[in-house]
Structure 1
Amino acid sequence: MANQQRNLTSESIFQRFFTSVLALLGQLRELETWQTLLYWVLWRVIPKRRRILRLIQELQPLHQNASPEMRTLRDEVFTKSCLELKRPEHAETLLEVLNGAHHPLGFEQIFLAAIYPVLVKRDMAVIPMATGTEHRLDVEVGYLGHNEDYFFWVFEIDGTKRLTLGTPLNPREAVRDDKRYVVYSLGSNRLVDTDFAEYAERWLLDSPRLTIALPLLAAAYADQWILNARLYLNHILTDLKKRNYYVTAMTVPDFERERLSLLRRLSLDRLRKRRLQSERRKR
């Protein structure tokens, strides 16, 4: 009887391991798996690795209620964003901004770290703002317009609020000195449907023999967070474009704002006419 139980146990372990191997081989057929593997190998050999690891050590510890996997995910997203940044000072600025969160859960830092390289490429500045609210990260995002006017808006990123790609925007207006700007109160939780444990179980089928692949899974899961965060950022930027001069416009009378808008349209019309004339000359 004992021998039969021992045989059944060994067969169960073998069957479980065999099923896990088949699942892993199935994932190896996908292009995304090889891209993640390539990234993981490059990360081990690039010269920037030591500097980024030093910055990771300086990241603010997460709140005690944060899950153990959240730090791994946050560090992975931070690493990927730092690799996209061309200048070391940009990575240090990102570190400073993320450390401005008050008792972070990790979600709010992940969201901002994911969109930060996009903002830098658009020549936008990100400035941390003090907040006394727990699990929140407040930042000001701004840029210089064509007349050297400073345009800005504010993100209030809450680590406890739910956010999906379909979450509607509900911005509010505020005034600072002679500037009018928009405040976006954003969630950051559940931007990706499954959590890290579920994602790992889907790949490994809860097999302890294949835990060596966990770093690869963290990298793949971070990619999904980065993608969704940037998709939602595009939603915000589209909303800002619709607001035109109303964003960070000086608190001037309505007729003056309309005059500025009219002048801008006339300037665009002149540019279009010049472009058409130039194309005709080339012909």
Structure 2
Amino acid sequence: MNRQRNRASDNLFERIFIATRAFFGQLLQKETWQALWHWMLWRVSPKRRRIHKLMRQLQPLDANAPTEMRALRDEVFAKSCLELQQLEEQQILLDILNKAHRPLGFEQVFLAAIYPILVKRDMEVIPLATEAEHRLDVEIGYLGHNEDYFFWVFEIDSTKRLTLETPLAPRQEVRDDKRYVVYPLGSVGLVETDYAAYAEQWLLEAPRLATALPILAAAYAEQWLLNARIYLAHLLTDLKKRNYEITATAIPDFERERLSLLRRLSLDRLRKRQSLSARRTR
């Protein structure tokens, strides 16, 4: 009995020692302090209530989605909303994400991560109708020097893998007198959200892990924002090499009319945004 007690005591001290060492090891990492800093800013931000209200309007994830994806999606969405200056842009992002068909979360996280960058580049994002499950298709465009509208398509699939080394596989299609580029993109694996390994490192059991999910999501959200934007830069570089070929999409007439209206509204927003940018630079 005494031996068993001693072994149990030694095992407990060993677990405490490992957990303490892991804790201080994490504190020494720059990413940990960044996550804590952003978490503190989020807690005191006056935008928090508004963003929480929008967050509650995000559609539920598919039943097959990983349990941690909701916390991660909400965290990335909140961080992206904090970067958006206009409330209208936050609402637009919400509307676009809710166009995903039975989302698993990865496709929404990817688009939410890159959306503020697209807005800063005076680009407009328009959701496209799709019957494919776990996918989010969007048209991205901008106004050229002569107010010509250039655009292309991202097909973001939550069932396909994507890493920073994944090669691009765009395809060109033609409709009427226009050429357009479509980028089929995966979204799984851009950040390896290995919550199980993280939990083991911190010696968390399942109930404690559920409690810790928001904190873990905050840490992983920063890496998602970084990696998604790195890959976006890769995509934009490829587009530049293609001389920003004019794009369109083969769609039914009634859908084309809806998109035409959306594009006109988008062009109005782009003109206003460019006008404001010009005033600031004067």
TM-score, reference length from structure 2? 0.82
**Structure with max Cα Rg:** 1
Structure 2 Cα separation of the partners of residues 10 and 163 of structure 1: 46
Alpha-carbon distance in structure 2 between the residues aligned to 1:150 and 1:187: 26
For residue 104 of structure 1, give the secondary structure of its aligned residue in structure 2. coil
Asked whether the equivalents of residues 136 and 155 of structure 2 are also in contact (C-alpha less than 8 Å), the reply is yes
Shift of 1:186: 0.5
Aligned equivalent of 2:251: none
Structure 1: state its 5+ residue gaps: 250-283
Name the stretch that deviates more: 208-217 or 225-234: 208-217
What whole-Å deviation, never above 9, does each CA across 1:147-191 have from its counterpart, x for those lacking one? 100000000000000111111111111234433211101100111
- Paired with 1:208 and 1:151, the residues of 2 have a C-alpha distance of 49
**Deviation of the 1:10 alpha carbon:** 3.3
Q: Structure 2: which 5+ runs fail to align?
A: 249-282
Q: Give the aligned partner of residue 109 of structure 1.
A: 108
Which residue number in structure 2 is paired with residue 229 of structure 1? 228
Change in 2 beyond 3 A, CA 1:117/1:199: farther
**Partner letter of residue 193 of structure 1?**
E
Matches within 5 A, 1:1-283: 1=1, 3-202=2-201, 204-206=202-204, 214-244=213-243, 246-248=245-247
Partner letter of residue 92 of structure 1?
Q
Cα distance change of structure 1 residues 151 and 209 upon mapping to structure 2, 3 Å threshold:
closer
Q: CA RMSD in A?
A: 2.0
Give aligned pairs, total. 247
Q: Deviations over 1:62-92 (max 9, x none)?
A: 1101111011111111111111111111111
Contact 2:239–2:245 (8 Å) recurs in 1? no
* Contact 1:199 1:221 (8 Å CA) reproduced: no
Distance 1:219 1:178 in 2: 46
Are the counterparts in 1 of residues 140 and 151 from structure 2 also a CA contact under 8 Å? yes
Secondary structure of the residue aligned to 1:246 is coil
Deviation at 1:194, TM superposition (A): 4.2
8 A Cα contact 1:74 1:109, kept in partner: yes
The CA deviation string for residues 13-42 of structure 1, in whole angstroms up to 9 with x for no partner, is 232122102211111112221121111112
**Equivalent position amino acid for 2:93 in 1:** L
The share of aligned pairs that are identical, in percent, is 68
Deviation at 1:207, TM superposition (A): 6.1
